[in-house]
Amino acid sequence: MIKALFEYQFLQNALFSGILASIVCGMIGVIIVEKKLVMMSGGIAHTSYGGVGLGYLLGFEPIIGAFIFSICAALGIGYIKRKGGVHSDVIIGLFWSLGMALGILFIALMPGYPPDLSSYLFGNILSVTKANLYLIIILTFIVTIIIISLYNDWKAYLFDEEFASIIGIKTVFLDYLLLILIAMTVVVLIRVVGIILVIALLTAPAAMAGLLTDDLKKRMIYAILLGIVFSIAGLWISYEINIASGAAIVILSVVSYFVSYMVKLISRRLGRKKTETKEETKTAETTKCIP
C-alpha cells in the first residue's frame, strides 16, 4: 500500500481525509462523551441524509446538502430542548426519522435510476474527491480554531455548566456552538465512515482516551492520535482485503476500545486484590503483636 500511496491520488485523498477527520473527532468527541451527547450526535448525523437526497434531486453537491440539514437539525434540536416541554430523546428520534425519510423521498422523486448512496451511509474513504477534501480541510480548520480559542471556556463548561454561567461564561452560546460543531464534524465524517457509523468514530477514540487520562487536553490529544491510528490501519486493512473502509475503521476502533476497557477492568481488580491482601497481612501482623 505504501508504494500505491505515492502513485494514486485517491489513496492520498483518503489518507489526508482520515487524518483530518481524526483531528476533529479527537476534539469534539471528548466533549460529546463528557456531555453525554452521543445520541444527539447520531440524530444530527442521520438527519443529514435528507440533505444528501436533496442534493441529488436538485443537482448540487450532496455534501453541501448534508451540511445544511445537519446545521438545521443541530439548531432545531438545541432550540426545542432549551425551550422544554419535550424530552430530548423524543426530539432526537423525530429529527432522526424525518431526515432519513426525506432522504428516501427525495431519491424516489429523481427521474431515472436512483444513485447508489451506500458510500454516504457506510462510508468509503477511498472515494473522497479533491472537492470533498477541500471542504473537510475548511471545516477541520474552523472546528480546531474554535476549540483552541475557547479552550478555557469549554473546560469550565464541561466541569460545571452552572458554575461557568456564574463566572460570566455564555453557556447558552456554547450550547448552540457545540451543536453546530457537531454538525460540522458529521459532514467531515460522512465520506470517511458514513452516516450510520459516525457515532462509533466520534465516541470510540474519545472514550478510549478517557480510560488513559482524566486531563481534558491530554484526552483530546490521545483521542486524535488514536483516531489517526485507527483511520490509517482501517484504510490499510480495507485496501489489502478489499472491504468497506468505513466498516474496517469502525470495527477496529470499537474492538480496541473494548479490549482497553477489559484490560483496565482486570488491572483494577488485581489492584484491589493486592490492596486487600496487604491489609489482611497487616491485620494479621498486628494481631500477632498483641499479647
Query: How does pLDDT run across 201-256, given as a tens digit for each residue?
Result: 888 899 999 888 888 889 999 999 999 999 888 888 887 887 777 888 888 989 99
Q: How far is CA 19 from the centre of its chain?
A: 13
At 66-105, the pLDDT tens digits run: 889 999 988 888 888 777 655 677 888 888 888 889 988 9
CA distance 253 to 226: 8
* pLDDT tens for each residue of 177-201: 888 888 888 888 887 777 877 888 8
pLDDT at 10 > cutoff 60: yes
Give the chain's domains with CATH numbers.
18-289 (1.10.3470.10)
Query: 129-170, pLDDT tens digit by residue?
Result: 788 788 888 888 998 999 999 888 888 888 877 778 888 888
pTM given for the model: 0.83
Report residue 20's pLDDT band, with 50, 70 and 90 as the boundaries: confident
Give the single-character DSSP code of 214: -
Residue 243 contacts residue 237 (beta carbons within 8 Å):
yes
Question: For residue 283, what pLDDT band results from cuts at 50, 70 and 90?
Answer: low
CB 64 within 8 A of CB 250: no
Structure confidence at residue 284 as a pLDDT band (50, 70, 90): low
Say yes or no to pLDDT of 15 above 80: yes
> Cβ distance 249 to 234 under 8 Å?
yes
Q: How far apart are CA 87 and CA 56, in angstroms?
A: 33
What pLDDT is attached to residue 224? 92
C-alpha to C-alpha distance for 230 and 18, rounded to whole angstroms:
9
Q: Is 178 left (phi over 0), alpha (psi -120 to 50) or beta?
A: alpha
First to last CA, the chain: 74
